[in-house]
């Protein structure tokens, strides 16, 4: 049994605490927040013992009863907390993005490599059965040789608040960091299914818009991989997008209508030269429960990182490098 502690008690922490109830190999033991009110309300809601409610991050990291930490704080705090957690010998599941830039990501993994702890960046669709289903179809040659990927994740935030995590540059805001990691990571996943060495894409044809706080409201880019697979990706925090992924090969296509937060019963549409059909993919658990179960089992098995198709250390580093390049190319073009 893995005893988890949560650092940061926002929306994702609530989803984690609800989902862990579905999981047999994990237990929520402790929580930590600098907000006394959040600590009380969250602790009461999820029946966390008062002795395991910590008002500082150092306290929860020093608790010997907790062996694993879920980090769901603001993006700009991830690097420091990951490093402190590794030094405290706690296994780590950290919300995306792993840090706010490539250099900080490299520093984090240098520290992790010195430790014996497990680490995974929480991009939850990667541990859902739907993703494995799509991979299997590609490997089986259902759509032939993959040629292109079209993938977007964009929503329109109703209220423009310059101090919110979405729009504040210092907090790691902006569309590329907040949701760009999804289409970029899916494109990379598809492009690298049958590759021995991780291929990093060239970033081309960038476009988008930057708001008054200096972060991107929406952004597009083309990713070109050395195996000739091309992906068109989009991310937005002030523009609604299709929020789907279309993979096209020389013999057909696969449309994933809900790639990012698939339900327990999800739908994948497949079109080939011979037929068109829909496949339902069933999952015993919800998307976040799947992730907790997979991660907890990897920790119990003594592993240090996820295994394909979940995020590996190399895929997190590569993903952040692509996000950095996308962001830099966009700002270079628009400034």
Asked if the model's pLDDT at residue 158 lies above 90, the reply is: no
**Which are the contacts of 143, defined by CB distance < 8 A and separation ≥ 6?**
137, 247, 248, 249, 250, 251, 252, 253, 254, 270, 272
Number of domains in the chain: 2
Q: Residue 259: left if φ>0, alpha if ψ -120 to 50, beta else—which one? A: alpha
* Residues 229, 142 share a domain: yes
* Residues 133, 115 share a domain: no
* Residues 129, 118 share a domain: no
Is residue 293 situated within a structural domain?
Answer: no
Pick from 106, 124, 142: which residue ends a domain?
124
Task: Read off the pLDDT of residues 62-105 as tens digits, 9 standing for 90 and up.
Answer: 999 999 999 999 999 999 999 999 999 999 999 999 999 999 99
Q: How far apart are CA 326 and CA 302, in angstroms?
A: 35
* Residues 246, 318 share a domain: yes
* Residue 98, domain extent: 2-124
Pick from 73, 96, 124: which residue ends a domain?
124
**Which are the contacts of 170, defined by CB distance < 8 A and separation ≥ 6?**
76
Asked if the model's pLDDT at residue 157 lies above 90, the reply is: no
The per-residue pLDDT for 194 is 86
Is residue 264 situated within a structural domain?
Answer: yes
* Residues 162, 107 share a domain: no
pTM of the model: 0.96
Task: Read off the pLDDT of residues 10-64 as tens digits, 9 standing for 90 and up.
Answer: 999 999 999 999 999 999 999 999 999 999 999 999 999 999 999 999 999 999 9
Pick from 90, 124, 158: which residue ends a domain?
124
Q: How far apart are CA 109 and CA 313, in angstroms?
A: 8
Is residue 329 situated within a structural domain?
Answer: yes
- DSSP letters, 10-40, are SHHHHHHHHHGGG-SSEEEEEEE-S-HHHHH
The per-residue pLDDT for 161 is 84
* Residues 281, 180 share a domain: yes
């Amino acid at each position: 049994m893995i005893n988890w502690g949560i650092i940061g008690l926002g929306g994702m922490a609530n989803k984690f605490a609800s989902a862990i109830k579905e999981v047999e190999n994990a237990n929520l033991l402790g929580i930590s927040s600098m907000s006394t009110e959040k600590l009380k309300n969250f602790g009461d809601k999820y029946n966390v013992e008062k002795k395991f409610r910590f008002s500082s991050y150092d306290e929860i990291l020093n608790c010997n009863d907790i062996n694993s930490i879920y980090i769901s704080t603001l993006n700009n705090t991830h690097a420091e907390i990951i490093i402190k957690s590794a030094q405290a010998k706690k296994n780590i599941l950290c919300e995306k993005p792993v840090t706010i830039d490539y250099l900080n990501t490299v520093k984090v993994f240098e520290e992790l490599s010195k430790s014996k702890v497990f680490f995974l960046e929480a991009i939850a669709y990667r541990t859902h059965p739907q993703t494995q289903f799509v991979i299997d179809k590609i490997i089986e040659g259902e759509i032939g040789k993959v040629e292109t990927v079209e993938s977007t994740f964009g929503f329109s935030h109703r209220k423009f608040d310059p101090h919110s995590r979405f729009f504040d540059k210092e907090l790691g805001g902006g569309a590329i960091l907040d949701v760009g990691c999804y289409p970029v990571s899916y494109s990379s996943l598809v492009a690298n299914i049958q590759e021995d060495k991780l291929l990093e894409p060239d970033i081309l044809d960038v476009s988008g818009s930057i708001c008054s706080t200096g972060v991107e409201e929406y952004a597009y880019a083309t990713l070109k991989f050395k195996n000739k697979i091309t992906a068109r990706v989009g991310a937005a925090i002030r523009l609604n997008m299709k929020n789907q992924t279309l993979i096209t090969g020389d013999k057909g296509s696969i449309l994933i209508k809900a790639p990012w937060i698939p339900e327990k019963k999800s739908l994948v549409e497949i079109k080939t030269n011979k037929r068109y059909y829909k496949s339902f993919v069933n999952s015993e658990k919800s998307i976040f429960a799947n992730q907790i179960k997979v991660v907890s089992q990897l920790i119990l098995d003594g592993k240090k990182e996820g295994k394909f198709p979940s995020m590996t250390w190399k895929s997190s580093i590569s993903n952040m490098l692509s996000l950095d390049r996308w962001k830099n190319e966009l700002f270079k073009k628009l400034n």
